[in-house]
């Protein structure tokens, strides 16, 4: 297995931007596990399922699908769905279904660093998926700051959303991500914890690089 750097944290903490930049700078591959969860949600929604899906229906549906992540793009049965997964609806359902799919996605995630040094971003990277990762980081920010970032991001993408909706969405997701029985969002014991509320992307990136250099 190659080197793995894990970046975990709640929704809107700046993980994706950071993980992408870090991977670029170090010439590592970037693994966006949120994209895998979103692809599962899109696939289930296309088949007409919602939170009422039974365990049997879920097991059956997942047997018939191949979800892959490669070169920054995510695929459902070889169809590139990287753009379709970036909607508030799929964000919502990825969180709703997330408690019931971590095991299904485990092999896909773990096989990624067999070939490449990897920056893996998600909720349970350092705790469950890559407990023996080379370096672990946990990024967070205040709820209001994360809602502001989510709001601005969706606005930039031309999506209609109010700040209050973004705030509610961030709070709901926090509850679901931290409260689920399997692979809940937790700070890994051996992770470097960074509160990014008052930090720019550049400052956060510099802190991460400093940590990597200080105990390389």
Query: Which residues in this chain contact ligand DC in the complex, by CB under 6 A?
Result: 11, 33-34, 37-38, 91, 94-95, 98, 122-124, 173, 177
- Between 88-98 and 33-46, two packed helices, what is the crossing angle to 10 degrees? 100
Distance CA 45, CA 30 (A): 26
Which of residues 15 and 210 has its CB atom nearest to ligand DC in the complex? 15
Minimal distance in Å, beta carbon 173 to ligand DC?
5
Q: From residue 2, give the alpha-carbon distance in Å to each of 5, 16, 130, 159.
A: 10, 21, 11, 38
* Most distant pair of Cα atoms in the chain: their distance: 50
CB of 5 to ligand DC, least distance (A): 14
Q: Name the residue nearer to ligand DC (CB basis): 124 or 145.
A: 124
Of 27 and 44, CB closest to ligand DC: 44
Name which of 135 and 146 has its Cβ closer to ligand DC. Answer: 146
Cross-strand partners of 139: 194
Phi, psi of 64 (to 5 degrees): -100, 15
Shortest distance, position 214 Cβ to ligand DC, whole Å = 27
- CB of residue 178 to ligand DC, shortest distance in Å: 10
């Amino acid at each position: 297995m190659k080197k793995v750097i894990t970046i975990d944290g709640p929704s809107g903490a700046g993980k994706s931007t950071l993980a992408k930049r870090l991977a670029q700078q170090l010439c590592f591959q970037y693994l966006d596990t949120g994209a895998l969860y979103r692809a599962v949600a899109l696939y289930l929604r296309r088949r007409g399922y919602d939170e009422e899906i039974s365990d049997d229906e879920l097991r059956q549906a997942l047997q018939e699908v191949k979800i892959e992540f490669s070169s920054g793009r995510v695929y459902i049965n070889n169809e590139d769905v990287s753009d379709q997964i970036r909607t508030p609806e799929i964000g919502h359902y990825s969180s709703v279904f997330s408690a019931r799919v971590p095991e299904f996605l485990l092999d896909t995630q773990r096989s990624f660093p067999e070939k490449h040094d990897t920056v893996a971003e998600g909720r349970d990277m350092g705790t469950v998926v890559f407990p023996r990762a080379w370096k672990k980081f946990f990024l967070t920010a205040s709820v209001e700051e994360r809602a502001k970032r989510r709001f601005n991001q969706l606005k930039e993408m031309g999506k209609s959303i109010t700040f209050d909706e973004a705030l509610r969405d961030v709070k709901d997701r926090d509850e679901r991500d931290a409260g689920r029985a399997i692979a809940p969002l937790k700070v890994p014991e051996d992770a470097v914890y960074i509160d990014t509320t008052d930090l720019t992307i550049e400052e956060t990136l510099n802190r991460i690089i400093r940590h990597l250099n200080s105990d390389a």
